[in-house]
Amino acid sequence: MNDRERRDFEAGLAGEVDAFMRGESTRRTFITRFGQMTGLLAASGPMLSMMTDWALAQQASELADPSTPLGQAQAAALKASSEGPADGSAFRAIEAAKQYSGVTLNMTSEAGLQALDPRNFSGPMLEKLTGIKTNVVELAWPDLYSKAVAEHIATSGAYDILDVAPMWTPSLADGGVIQPLDDYIAKYMNKADLEDYHPLYKALPTYKGKIWGLFDDGDIFALYYRKDIFEDPKLVEAYKAKFNAKLEPPKTWEEYAQVAQFITDQLAPNVYGAGHFRKAGSPGNQFDFLQQFRANGGQLFDGDMKAALASDAGVKTLQNMIAANNASIPGNNELDAVSLWAAFLTGKVAMIYSWPPSGRMAANYSQSAAAINFIPQSQIAGKVGYAVVPGNPEHATGFNKALSADSANPDAAFLAMQWMTSPPVSLARVMLPYALRDPYRLSHFRSELYAGLFPSAKEYLANLNASANVGLLDPIMPGAQDYFLSIDRMCTAVWAGADPKASLETAAKEFDETTDRLGVDSQKAFYAEFLKLPGATADNTVEKLGLAVTL
């Protein structure tokens, strides 16, 4: 230490002593307090977590009034889980899961309404029955895929149960993110319950001969229309006079545009013939194009795995969609799914096709839950009819519950999945007013309790079943989201005035780039696997395969 450093040091020391005597902070007290503060911060995280866990644990399972159909369904689910029948999947799952009491299962869920069921109903009920806790991790829809993959790469074991779109199954299975369920099913499940799935949904989680998930959401599109308008004598007469045909829910896409235009011509600006969710990024474009394109005989890929979008079927599909847009409510191309619901529920639109919650909202059933009060009250309750979408409706996404390959408690996780998707428990779940999970089991479609939810619930269920009989699946293969994005860009460009044929060619080019990036041969193999599924094309729907379900 040289003289200057010594002087500085001693001056600092003297200053420190002076500060100490004045009762001010010294370096020592600063370090001590800094250490205390850091320690407190480190401790506050776990403490906060413990407090949150405690607060969540206080939340009892949210049960409905036992005199209502929902309350009865929930009671039945509880009884089937705790008393049997002993060979039921719900009872067997609960009995086997009791040994895992105290385990916490981390399960992903799409953020928002989708997460309310595991948070408020099935999660707390599972804990009550088995002592297994559930931690619902809410994620944005694309993150349900990306986070699952990222956590798998990091081998974090962050998740036990994954909510995944069926289209992701091949990627997740081949990537080792999820594990096959065949052995668990053989060990724990009553296999008869697998036969309770509608045939469109039964094979959905199957890939390369193995089962990779338990299907959990029947997202089939259906047509919802205003019966009072379609039965209005003046309109019926005018339609007959103009087209020499009966005014009824359309059976073809040409009829659809024609009927929509007729209603708009007759009733606008009070009511418009149709509405669609066509906003960019809103998934309506991709689903609508896929259902119409395939109903028009279009093939997504040719034998060499080249995109076959730029075909006559493609042009015809876009032309039909443009005609429908022109016949629709002003701002049709700016609507997302929720805005479209608002337009329909407030009586501004005579026809929409969308996901199954449309019917429950139209009947004002969903709005009985506070969580879904952002949807307007239905002004058309009791006036809504149900029909199959012209041609073939799209099964737009849906969900599988999949078992994470990195789960530390795979048996407990599978048992929770089995219990949640078992016939009695899944029925209670799809009946929740805030549920975005839609009927998918035959026992759901045949349920008297569900049929009692609102006056036209029986017809609603029958229509969902009929729609599934002729429904088409989203392509289940790697790159599906890239293909979807290309379709969405193509459609919105066409709505803005781009040439349909040129737009189809651009989308086809993007399809080919995606295929090349992922490997032509491997994509070809994936596509071939997909084509084996009922509902992969308009030529092999459940109905055409002779598997149609009659209720």
User: Which residues contribute to the site for another protein (CB under 8 A)?
Assistant: 9, 13, 17, 20-22, 27, 142-143, 145-146, 149-150, 171, 174-175, 279-282, 329-331, 333-334, 339, 342-343, 348, 478-479, 481-482, 485, 488-490, 492-493, 495-496, 498, 503, 517-519
Spatial CB neighbours of 260, under 8 Å, sequence gap ≥ 6: 272, 273, 274, 324, 327, 328, 350, 351
CB of 182 to another protein, least distance (A): 23
Strand-by-strand arrangement of the 400-403 sheet: 133-139, 104-110, 161-164, 400-403, 214-215
H or E element at residue 124: helix 123-130
- Pick 327 or 420: Cβ nearer another protein: 327
CB of 69 to another protein, least distance (A): 34
Spatial CB neighbours of 506, under 8 Å, sequence gap ≥ 6: 489, 490, 493
- Pick 10 or 539: Cβ nearer another protein: 10
What is the residue type of 486?
A: S
| Tokens 């994620």, located at residue | 139
Angle, to 10 degrees, between the axis of helix 410-421 and the axis of helix 423-430?
A: 60
CB of 388 to another protein, least distance (A): 27
Spatial CB neighbours of 364, under 8 Å, sequence gap ≥ 6: 377, 378, 381, 454
CB of 159 to another protein, least distance (A): 15
Picking from 200, 115, 194, the residue whose alpha carbon sits closest to that of residue 474 is 200
CB of 378 to another protein, least distance (A): 17
- Pick 343 or 536: Cβ nearer another protein: 343
- Pick 76 or 337: Cβ nearer another protein: 337
- The C-alpha atoms of residue 489 and residue 496 are separated, in whole angstroms, by 11
> Could you tell me how many residues make up the chain?
551
DSSP 371: G
Largest CA-CA distance found in the chain, in angstroms, rounded: 111
5: exposed, middle or buried (Cβ count in 10 Å: 0-12, 13-18, 19+): exposed
Torsion (CA) 476, 481, 485, 486 in degrees, nearest 10: -60
Contact 305, 520 (CB under 8 A): yes
DSSP 377: P
DSSP string over 13-81: HHHHHHHHHTT---HHHHHHHHHHHHHHHHHHHHHHHHHHHHHHHT-------TTSHHHHHHHHHHHHH
CB of 83 to another protein, least distance (A): 44
CB of 434 to another protein, least distance (A): 22
- Pick 221 or 277: Cβ nearer another protein: 277
- Pick 77 or 173: Cβ nearer another protein: 173
